C-alpha cells in the first residue's frame, strides 16, 4: 500500500498553509514562538536568544544516512541544518552551528529550493534540524516548495523545547515529529541550557505532537510517513532521568512510541562546566537506559546503528 499524501499538500489546496505562514510571521513582531518568549521584533532586525531575525540561517543541507532506519531507506533523509538554536545546550555536538553561528542567512525561496533539490536527489523526506526558532520561514518555504512539486513528508527534528501554541501552527503541515526529550530534572536543564522549565515544556510538546500525528507509521517499504519518533540521549550517571522519561512516555503519550535511546553522548562544547557531564556514559549507563525503556513498556526501540556525518 502506498503511503498517504503528505499533510501539507491538502493544506496548500485549501489555502491553510499560507494562512499559517502569515500567522507565524506575525508573531515575529513580538516574538513568542518558543518558550523563551523574548518579545523582540525580529521583522525589524532585532534578535533574541536564538540570534535569528527575519531570515532563517542554514548551515548545510544534504542527504543524510545517519538518521534512524525508518527515515533513511536507500535515498537518505533530506536534512536541512538550521544555524543557531532556541535551547543552546552547553554540550551540543554541533556547537559550531548552534553556538558559533556557522551558516548563512537565506530567503524563504532559497529554502524552498533546497527542499526541492533534496527531493530530486532521492531523499525520502525533508528533515528540518533545529527548527523551533524558524517555524515562520519553514511554513513560508513549504508553501513555495509544495506549489512547485514537493511531495515527500516533512520531519520536524527539534530539541523538544517547543511551545504548544506554535506546534498547533504546524498541524496539517508536519508529517513526522522527531523531538528530543533531554532531561527530567529541571536543575540539570537549567545548568545545561538555562531552561529550568524544559521538562514541563517537553512533556506538553510531546503530548501535542502525538495528538497531531499519532504513533510512527511505517510503509511496506520500511520508510516512515507519519507519526512521532522520539529521541533520548543517554547522559552519564543517570543525569538525563531516563526511567522517569520513559514511564511518562508509556503512560501519558503511548507505549507504542518509537524511541531511539542514543548512546553517542560525548563532552562537546562547554560540557566540562557541568559536573558529571565531562565524561562519556559507560556501557552500564547505556544498558541501564535501555532496560529502563523496556521496563516502562516501550518495545519499539530503534536498533543501535548510528552513523555520523561531519558538516
What's 245's domain CATH number?
3.20.20.70
Using an 8 Å Cβ cutoff, are 183 and 200 in contact? no
Q: Say how many domains are in the chain.
A: 1
258 in any annotated domain: yes
Position 304 scores a pLDDT of: 65
309 in any annotated domain: no
Q: Which pTM was predicted? A: 0.96
311 in any annotated domain: no
Position 1 scores a pLDDT of: 54
Alpha helix positions (H), the chain: 7-14, 16-27, 69-72, 95-98, 108-120, 135-147, 164-169, 186-193, 198-213, 242-248, 283-295
Position 241 scores a pLDDT of: 97
262 in any annotated domain: yes
Q: Going residue by residue through the chain (311 aa), what tens digit of pLDDT does each one get?
A: 567 899 999 999 999 999 999 999 999 999 999 999 999 999 999 999 999 999 999 999 999 999 999 999 999 999 999 999 999 999 999 999 999 999 999 999 999 999 999 999 999 999 999 999 999 999 999 999 999 999 999 999 999 999 999 999 999 999 999 999 999 999 999 999 999 999 999 999 999 999 999 999 999 999 999 999 999 999 999 999 999 999 999 999 999 999 999 999 999 999 999 999 999 999 999 999 999 999 999 999 998 654 443 33
* Residue from 300, 275, 288 nearest 241 by CA: 288
Position 306 scores a pLDDT of: 46
Domain coverage including residue 285: 7-295
227 in any annotated domain: yes
Dist CA 115 CA 141 (whole Å): 9
Pairing of strands 104-106, 217-218: unpaired
Longest dimension (CA), the chain: 52
Dist CA 102 CA 84 (whole Å): 8
Using an 8 Å Cβ cutoff, are 229 and 214 in contact? no
Position 179 scores a pLDDT of: 98
213 in any annotated domain: yes
Q: Is 284 exposed, middle or buried (0-12, 13-18, 19+ CB in 10 A)?
A: exposed
35 in any annotated domain: yes
Amino acid at each position: 500500500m502506498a503511503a498517504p499524501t503528505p499533510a501539507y499538500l491538502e493544506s496548500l489546496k485549501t489555502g491553510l498553509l499560507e494562512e499559517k505562514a502569515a500567522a507565524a510571521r506575525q508573531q515575529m513582531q513580538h516574538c513568542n514562538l518558543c518558550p523563551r518568549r523574548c518579545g523582540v521584533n525580529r521583522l525589524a532586525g532585532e534578535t533574541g536568544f536564538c540570534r535569528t531575525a527575519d531570515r532563517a540561517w542554514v548551515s548545510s543541507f544534504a542527504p543524510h544516512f545517519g538518521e534512524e532506519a525508518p527515515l533513511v531507506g536507500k535515498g537518505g533523509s533530506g536534512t536541512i541544518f538550521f544555524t543557531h538554536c532556541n535551547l543552546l545546550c552547553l554540550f551540543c555536538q554541533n556547537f559550531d552551528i548552534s553556538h558559533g553561528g556557522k551558516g548563512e542567512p537565506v530567503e524563504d525561496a532559497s529554502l524552498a529550493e533546497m527542499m526541492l533539490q533534496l527531493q530530486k536527489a532521492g531523499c525520502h523526506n525533508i528533515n528540518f534540524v533545529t527548527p523551533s526558532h524558524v517555524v515562520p520561514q519553514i511554513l513560508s518555504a513549504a508553501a513555495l516548495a509544495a506549489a512547485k512539486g514537493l511531495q515527500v513528508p516533512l520531519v520536524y527534528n527539534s530539541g523538544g523545547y517547543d511551545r504548544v501554541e506554535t506546534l498547533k501552527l504546524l498541524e496539517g503541515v508536519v508529517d513526522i515529529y522527531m523531538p528530543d526529550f533531554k532531561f527530567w530534572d529541571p536543575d540539570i536543564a537549567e545548568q545545561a541550557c538555562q531552561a529550568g522549565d524544559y521538562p514541563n515544556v517537553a512533556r506538553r510538546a510531546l503530548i501535542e505532537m502525538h495528538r497531531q500525528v499519532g504513533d510512527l507509521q511505517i510503509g511496506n517499504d520500511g520508510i516512515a510517513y507519519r507519526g512521532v519518533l522520539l529521541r533520548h540521549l543517554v547522559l552519564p550517571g543517570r543525569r538525563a532521568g531516563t526511567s522517569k522519561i520513559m514511564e511518562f512516555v508509556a503512560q501519558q503519550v503511548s507505549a507504542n512510541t518509537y524511541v531511539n535511546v542514543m548512546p553517542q553522548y560525548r563532552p562537546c562544547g562547554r560540557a566540562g562546566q557541568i559536573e558529571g557531564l565531562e565524561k562519556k556514559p559507560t556501557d552500564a549507563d547505556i544498558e541501564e537506559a535501555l532496560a529502563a525503556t523496556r521496563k516502562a513498556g516501550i518495545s519499539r526501540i530503534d536498533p543501535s546503528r548510528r552513523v555520523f556525518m561531519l558538516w
